[in-house]
Structure 1
C-alpha cells in the first residue's frame, strides 16, 4: 500500500503534554470481513477530551485517541460485500453493536478509549465497524456523525419517539445540541434552546429555535422554559450538562416528559431531584451514542432532510492539542473537525 502512516499516540495516563506523532508500518492487509480505510477526517467530542486531557485515559498503556473517523476504502478482504475500494465510509462508536438493544457496559470497545482510535492515517478494521457516509458530504462532515449525530438521533427518535408539534429543549451549542436542534426542526417540532452567549442564541434562532434563554442571565432557566410553554413544560430535554443542569432540565420538562441523560459537562456527582421526577412521572433515559443500525438510519435521514452539520473550525492532525484547547475554551459553535 505504501502510504505514509502517521499515528498520534497518547502516553499512559494522558495529558496534553503526553501527545506525540509517530510513524508506523502500513496497517495489515484486511482479513476475512475486514477492510483497510485511508482516514481523512475526525471530529472532537467531550469524551475524546476526557481521554486526552487525562481523567479517562488508560493508566497502563498508550492509546491512539479519537472515536470518530471518516475516510476511503483502499482494500477489502474476503467476505466483504457492503463496501468496495473507493467507497467513502465513517466509523461507528461501538464497532460490535450492530443492531438491537445495547448489550455491553462502558467504553471497553470504543475507539480512542478501550481500543485504539482514528488519530492516524490508515486502519484495518472489521467492515461492520463502518457505515457509508451521506451522499455529497465531505469526510469532515461525515466524521461528525459517529458520536454527536448518532447520540442526538437516538435521544430524539429511537428512545424519544419525537412527534411533529412536540417541544424540545436543547442546552448549549455543542455538537449534540446543534444536531438535536436541526433534527427536531426538520421533524416539525418546536425547539427552545439555551446558551450563555446572546450572540450564540441569535445563531440558534436563525437555525430554527423558536425561543431561547440565556442561562447566565436567568439562573432559574427551568422556570423560564415552563413559562415559554404556558406552564406545561417541554416534551423532550436533550440533557448534556449533567448534575449541574439536571435539576433545571427536569423542572423544564412536562409531566411525563422525556429527559435524555447524555453529557457530564458539569461533572459526575450531584443531587438527584427524585421527588420532582416522581411527581411529574418523568422518563429519564441514559443515552450512550447508539448502534450501527442507528447510524445507518441517521445517514438516510440526513440525505432525506438535507441537514448538514455545523463545523466550527478545522485543525490538522498534528495540531490536535490546540484543537482540544479550543474545545476547552467553550468558544466553539458546533463541531471541531480534524483533517488527516
Structure 2
C-alpha cells in the first residue's frame, strides 16, 4: 500500500510517497481503507515544520473510508461500514484536557494520508447519510470547528448575527450551520467574485475587507454589533473582530492565517464585555451530534477542487495560493 511520509519536516518537498505492507488490526482496532482526505492549514503547518512532529510522520488529520477488517472485541463496527476520522482520537466526550488532546491525527500520531490504517474503534464516527467519501472527509477539522464555535460554545440562537471571515472550509461550514440555525450572516472576502458566491450561499451581507481598511467598524455600524464573530486571522483580523462584535458578544479565536500573535486592546475587550474563547476542533460526541444535524438539515460541503492521491503537493500549493472557495480534497481513487 502507498502512504505519504514527511521526511524531516520543512517544506512540501519533504512529502514522500513510500510503500509498506497492509497492517492487521489488533484487539480493539479496525482496519480502515481510507478513500479520501481534505486539506487543513494545520496539516500545512505540520509539513512545513512549524508544528513539530516526528520524522516520517504520515500527515493529514481528516479521513473518510470504509472498514475492511475488525479486530477482536470490536462490536461497534462491521466490515463495509463507512467512517470518518477524529482530529483528537482520545477526546471522546466531556471537556478538553491535556490527556484527551495530546494525540492529534496527522500531527503527534500518524494521519490519514495512507491507503490502509489500523484505527482504534473508538476513534471514528459514522459518515453522514448519502455523503460521498470526498464530502465526508471535509468534516473532522473544519466543520467540527465551526459547529463547536457556534453551537456548542456559542449557543447560537435563531435571530442571532454571525460574522464569517474569508472563504476557507471552516468559514463555509460556519455560514451553512448559521443559516440552518436561523442566523443573520455577515461575510468578508477580498474578491468580488467570491462575494457573489457568498451571497448565493445565503450570506445576508458581504463586505470587501481589502477595500475597507476599517471593515470591523463598518460592520458594527451596519449591524449594531455582531453576536458571534469567528476570527481566523489573529493579528490581521482580531482588532477588526473586536470592533465588529456586539457588547456582550462572542469572539471565537480559531485561526492564525495572519500570524501567530496579535495585539489586543484590553480596554476594548472589557469595555464591550466580550466573551473571547480559543478553541481547537472538538470531541467525538460533538462530531456525532454535528453529523446528526447534517443529516437533518441536508448540509452539503462546499468542495473547491479534488486532487488525486499522488498530487498532495499540488493540492497544498493550490491551498497556499488562497484561490480556493471551500474545501480542497484528496481522492484516493483518482
Q: TM-score, normalised on structure 2? A: 0.97
Identify which of 5, 8, 12 aligns with 2:4: 8
Q: Give deviations 1:103-125, integer Å, cap 9, x for gaps.
A: 12796411111111111100001
Q: Give deviations 1:256-281, integer Å, cap 9, x for gaps.
A: 00011000000112211211001000
Report which stretch shifted further, 209-218 or 105-114.
Answer: 105-114
C-alpha separation in 2, matches of 1:316 and 1:14: 23
Identify which of 263, 273, 292 aligns with 2:255: 263
Identify which of 5, 15, 18 aligns with 1:19: 15
C-alpha separation in 2, matches of 1:134 and 1:30: 25
Q: Give deviations 1:251-306, integer Å, cap 9, x for gaps.
A: 10000000110000001122112110010000001110000000000110100001
Structure 1 contact 35–126 (Cα < 8 Å) conserved = yes
CA gap 1:279/1:105 in 2 versus in 1, 3 angstroms: farther
Q: Give deviations 1:121-160, integer Å, cap 9, x for gaps.
A: 0000101111000010001100110000100000000000
C-alpha separation in 2, matches of 1:79 and 1:98: 19
Which residue matches 2:193? Answer: 199
Identify which of 191, 208, 228 aligns with 1:236: 228
Structure 2 contact 88–100 (Cα < 8 Å) conserved = no
Residue 57 of structure 1 and its aligned partner are, at CA, apart by: 4.2
Structure 2 contact 91–100 (Cα < 8 Å) conserved = no
Q: How many residues align?
A: 332
Which residue matches 2:41? Answer: 46
Residue 14 of structure 1 and its aligned partner are, at CA, apart by: 3.0
Which residue matches 2:175? Answer: 181
Structure 2 gaps, min length 5: none
Which residue matches 2:327? Answer: 335
Q: Would you say 1:153 and 2:147 are equivalent positions?
A: yes
Structure 1 contact 194–201 (Cα < 8 Å) conserved = yes
CA gap 1:163/1:253 in 2 versus in 1, 3 angstroms: same
CA gap 1:156/1:261 in 2 versus in 1, 3 angstroms: same
Structure 1 gaps, min length 5: none
Q: 3-state DSSP class of the match of 2:230? A: strand
Identify which of 287, 295, 313 aligns with 1:303: 295
Task: Note the 1:58-207 alignment, pairs <5 A.
Answer: 58=53, 61-104=55-98, 108-207=102-201
C-alpha separation in 1, matches of 2:246 and 2:73: 50
C-alpha separation in 2, matches of 1:106 and 1:36: 23
C-alpha separation in 2, matches of 1:338 and 1:16: 16
Q: Give deviations 1:145-203, integer Å, cap 9, x for gaps.
A: 00001000000000000000000000000000000000000100000000000110110
Report which stretch shifted further, 63-72 or 108-117.
Answer: 108-117
Residue 53 of structure 1 and its aligned partner are, at CA, apart by: 2.4
C-alpha separation in 2, matches of 1:137 and 1:184: 20
Q: 3-state DSSP class of the match of 1:128? A: coil
Q: TM-score, normalised on structure 1? A: 0.96
Structure 1 contact 108–115 (Cα < 8 Å) conserved = no
Structure 1 contact 107–113 (Cα < 8 Å) conserved = no
Which residue matches 1:315? Answer: 307
Which residue matches 1:33? Answer: 28
Residue 325 of structure 1 and its aligned partner are, at CA, apart by: 0.4
Structure 1 contact 12–57 (Cα < 8 Å) conserved = no
Q: Give deviations 1:56-92, integer Å, cap 9, x for gaps.
A: 242x522111000110000111222221100000000
C-alpha separation in 2, matches of 1:200 and 1:153: 23
C-alpha separation in 1, matches of 2:131 and 2:279: 26
Structure 1 contact 195–215 (Cα < 8 Å) conserved = yes
